[in-house]
Structure 1
Amino acid sequence: MNKALQKIAMVDDHNMLRAGLATVLNTFEGFEVVLEANNGREFIDKLQTHPHPDIILLDIHMPVMNGYETAEWIKKNLPTAKILVITMLDSDLAIIKMLNFGVKGFVFKDSHPDQLRKALIQLRDKGICLDEFYASRYNPETDSYEALPPPTPPQLSEKEVEFLKLVSTELTYREIAEEMGVSPRTVDSYRDTLFKKLHVISRVGLVLFAVRNGIVMM
């Protein structure tokens, strides 16, 4: 049975990159670009005269209305749309902030078109696409962005679960320590222990593990 055509909106202020990417996207079977915008404000305005998208490809740094503001608006006003961030950004807190605004996936701007196509298919079929970012933070010994098999969740203590929930917010490590009623050094110990136990190499790795294993819902 053929799947319904997925309508795509692109929100990115880099005109040449957006135009080239739109051409590539329109070659993917089952996907069609129906709206392009330079920023979030233009995207919202164009929704008055364009079909509402199923998937929104969103940049973070844009003038007038940036990716954070746009993602927050989409979460409130287009709750069924899935946001895929296309970025070169590699800031843990920025990625976590976007996850909390309802973003369902991330793809690097220098990814191969096949990886983008796979990401779109996964987003369409599963509703979430975190494999590329998860792989890049889960296995430090490979440069491959192939999806890794879901790890068998290890036994976690109540404090470790609490820490994972708090680390998935925008709180700093110092603020997490205050929330847990422990010292910053103890929080560092939780972090380093979970890095080893979960085989991740960054804060985002911890968050993606928590999301994939149902510890937090975003």
Structure 2
Amino acid sequence: MKIKTAIADDNTFLITAIKEKLSFFDNIDLKFTALNGAELLAKLNDNYNIDIILMDIEMPVLNGIETTELVKQKYPHIKIIMLTVFDNDENIFNAIKAGQMVIY
């Protein structure tokens, strides 16, 4: 069974790098990417059959923490892993409060 995955990040270079790394795993099926939380939510409206989202904390329009709260309300079955390169204790704490794992 393949793990249905989505990526939400405003950095297109990072999206490309993650897609490249995930391509090495036969059991991961990348369904779509989004450049911000609002775009992710719109795409989830069309396809919410996702197992896991790799989500950036800092994004324009709707950040990762706000998006996580909305995703968890509407699609509680989806797991979210937060990604960040920033060492911001408040963002990390808020991500943990939202019930997510934070990866540096």
Normalised to the residue count of structure 1, the TM-score between the two structures is 0.45
Question: Of 81, 90, 93, which residue of structure 1 is paired with 2:90?
Answer: 93
Q: What CA RMSD, in Å, does the superposition of the two structures yield over aligned residues?
A: 1.4
CA 1:85–1:38 in 2, change beyond 3 Å: closer, same or farther? same
TM-superposition CA deviations, 1:36-63 (whole Å, max 9, x none):
0001100111123335211110001111
Number of the residue aligned with 2:41 = 44
TM alignment of 1:65-214, pairs within 5 A: 65-103=62-100, 105-108=101-104
Q: How many residues align?
A: 104
CA distance in 1 between partners of 2:74 and 2:99 (Å): 12
Q: Does the aligned pair in 2 maintain the 1:8–1:53 contact within 8 Å?
A: yes
Gaps of 5+ in 1: 109-218
**Superposition deviation, residue 26 in structure 1:** 2.2
TM alignment of 1:26-41, pairs within 5 A: 26-41=23-38
Higher relative contact order (CA 8 A, sep 6+): 2
Aligned identity (percent) is 35
Gaps of 5+ in 2: none
Bigger helix fraction = 1
* Structure having the higher Rg: 1
Normalised to the residue count of structure 2, the TM-score between the two structures is 0.89
Q: Does the aligned pair in 2 maintain the 1:34–1:51 contact within 8 Å?
A: no
Bigger strand fraction = 2
The one-letter amino acid paired with 1:21 is I
TM-superposition CA deviations, 1:183-217 (whole Å, max 9, x none):
xxxxxxxxxxxxxxxxxxxxxxxxxxxxxxxxxxx
Runs of 4+ in structure 1 deviating by more than 4 angstroms, as ranges, are none
